[in-house]
Structure 1
Amino acid sequence: MALVAAVLVLTACSEGGRVKDPDTGDGTAGDNSGYTIAMITHETPGDSFWDRVRAGAEQAAKNTGVDLKYSNDPDAGKQAVLIQNAVDSRVDGIATTLVTPDALAGSVKTATQAGIPVVGLNAGIDDYRRLGVSMYFGSDETRAGTAAGERIAAEGAKHPLCVIHQAGSVSLEARCEGVRSAVPDTENLQVNGADDAAVVSTLQAKLQQDPSIDYIVSLGAPIALDAGKAKESGDSQAKIITFDLNQETAQGVKDGTIEFSIDQQPYMQGFMAVTSLYLNLKNGNDLGGGEAVLTGPSFVDGDNIGQILPFVQNGTR
């Protein structure tokens, strides 16, 4: 899917987001910019998705001479504290996920009031403007869910099970709502995504209880692997689709154990979030258009997995 350009209205002030000497570098790879940018996410430890987000951010920081401070916590209150800590340390810019926007609103406001430019990534596409965040890099999750639902509906889906692995995540709920818009009998199932064994056992029990489930919609690559284990232990014939990729799920698409993935290109999200902050701080650059920059959704299936798999294995897709 083509990227949709978006406006980046960021303010560089004398507090956070201070303007640097324009002679500190020429903007090329290896520029010693001297900026400090904090990236704060809701990463659950062990979720390989975030390795790609962070890898993209680190490459962008290397290219531009940025000192990248990465931190994460899946607990919304603790993520808000991490944002406040970044403000207190007077970083030059902040990139943050907005998976629980209301819980983060106060700390984000503190950052913008301090003159620190803030961009959103990965989660919060429907809320970033309301929070005063100037830019967003990620997928339109409602559109992604709808696209997935329409595809499986065309394949005959009647009763998909949409597995939500993080409570309160607006992005995951939007995906399931999108699927339901195309397949009305879609059922949501809440699991603890931080505990793979618990996910497997919960899915096993659900599949045994309801054999009419014909598709398992995993909202994250590790959950797709758990779904595969749950299927192996029972008689379910449910097909598995997933959002996002890691090496194992990409191989599953190639092998046919996973029907397809809806990819949002997390490496690009991390890379663009850091790069956009750098360009604004250094040159006052804006990305025009007024809308979020979309990094997905994009289908990965048997037709294109051969092209994409090497990049997944390299950790950049």
Structure 2
Amino acid sequence: MSEEQDRPAVSSTDTSSPSTAALRRRGLLTGATAGAAATMLAGLATQARAAETAFPDHPRWKFVFINHVTTNPFFVPTQYGIADACKLLGCSYQWTGSETSDAGQMVNAFNAAIASKADAIATCLVDPKAFNDPTERALAAGIPVFAYNADAPPGSDNKRLAYIGQDLYKAGYALGEKIASLVDGGKVALFIATPGQLNIQPRFDGAKDAISKSGKSITVDEIATGPTLNEEIGKVQAYYLGHQDVKGLFAVDGGSTQGVAMAIKLYNLAKKGVHGGGFDLLPKTLELINEGFGDFTIDQQPYLQGFYTVLEAFLFKASGGLVGPADINTGLKFVTKESVGPYLATKTRYEGNSGAPQIVPSHGPIG
């Protein structure tokens, strides 16, 4: 799937200055005087634009974003973040990759971006080796490469310039600590859409490590759910029906987390003492947590994963490579029944549940 977004260039019109025609109507400009005045006004307008614009005129750089699940609802706010940053900076972008976490399809999209002379490439490094060669070829061609949402493992040979996204292992470790605080012992399920892929496997590893270090007698079943939402929901429900002695249902990706919350509601598991939680802010997940079906979900701010990546690519291009790049951790925040209210009360591009640009009023004290 490929979607190219062409955004209008940043406006350079100085709407605060009266037009030449308006002045002529007032009798202030005639003949050669009008021409001279028009030239003067044009010069003033140029100076005003220079004073009001952070950056001088630049090419309409095109940034190619390569994704592993292009139609997954998790990445709706990411695409809004990309679009907003491109509009702000006068750039454009292309959204492409794979719908089913197929690394081969992603590499094909990467190669196409190199061939088309993209001004920068951003990709989810979901495979530890598949992207090493295209990354090096892009850099050799003068195309900066950034990772977002998923990064190569420590010690990897991948030469990407920076990673913008959550610290995945630490986020998983925090998930494991939460699980150990909710479950005293017994079996828990830990659902993962695509085992081995670097956008979620580090979370799974971190969760297992934290559970192990807790000292509690908790056993973990690893359940693969698949790359699409309907698959994930079905796999979670099927697992529970075959393992009704389970003490908790947890997940390391957004689709599986929605599946967990839906299963807790469908089988009335909260009243049976079964705990559940996971990652991401899919609207259905938030609604169910608010209704008491699930203990928490973890926010990794997908909007920022798009917005910040565009900023880094733009500044790299604008500075000739002198500014940045730098790794950016987009954070970790537990959202519970007590804190989910503001997420449900507002519909924004930042969370991906509305396309309308807006400034959102503060919801009260910060922290």
TM-score by length of 2: 0.72
In the alignment, which residue of structure 1 is the partner of 2:62? 36
CA distance in 2, matches of 1:232, 1:226: 10
Alignment of 1:1-317 (within 5 A): 28=54, 33-45=59-71, 47-73=72-98, 74-124=101-151, 126=153, 130-158=157-185, 159-184=187-212, 185-194=219-228, 196=230, 198-234=231-267, 236=269, 237=272, 238-283=274-319, 284-287=321-324, 292-310=327-345, 313-317=347-351
CA distance in 2, matches of 1:214, 1:30: 59
Say which SS state the counterpart of residue 171 (structure 1) adopts. coil
By how many angstroms is 1:29 displaced?
A: 9.1
One-letter identity of the residue aligned with 1:43: V
CA distance in 2, matches of 1:115, 1:128: 24
TM-score by length of 1: 0.82
Say which SS state the counterpart of residue 277 (structure 1) adopts. helix
CA distance in 2, matches of 1:241, 1:270: 25
Q: Where in structure 2 are there 5+ consecutive unaligned residues?
A: 1-48, 213-218, 352-367
By how many angstroms is 1:171 displaced?
A: 2.7
Say which SS state the counterpart of residue 193 (structure 1) adopts. coil
One-letter identity of the residue aligned with 1:145: G
In structure 2, the CA distance between the partners of 1:157 and 1:202, relative to structure 1 (3 Å rule), is farther
By how many angstroms is 1:310 displaced?
A: 4.4
Q: % of aligned pairs identical?
A: 25
In the alignment, which residue of structure 2 is the partner of 1:16? none
By how many angstroms is 1:215 displaced?
A: 1.7
CA distance in 2, matches of 1:233, 1:248: 14
Say which SS state the counterpart of residue 170 (structure 1) adopts. coil
One-letter identity of the residue aligned with 1:60: A
Say which SS state the counterpart of residue 168 (structure 1) adopts. coil
In structure 2, the CA distance between the partners of 1:194 and 1:275, relative to structure 1 (3 Å rule), is same
Aligned 8 A contact 1:138 1:294 in 2: yes
Per-residue CA distance 1:264-284 (angstroms, 9 max, x = gap): 100001000011110110124
Aligned-residue CA RMSD in angstroms?
2.6
Aligned 8 A contact 2:69 2:227 in 1: no
CA distance in 2, matches of 1:89, 1:305: 43
CA distance in 1, matches of 2:332, 2:152: 13
CA distance in 1, matches of 2:155, 2:162: 7
One-letter identity of the residue aligned with 1:106: D
Aligned 8 A contact 2:125 2:148 in 1: yes
By how many angstroms is 1:233 displaced?
A: 4.9
CA distance in 2, matches of 1:157, 1:296: 28
One-letter identity of the residue aligned with 2:312: S
CA distance in 2, matches of 1:314, 1:302: 20
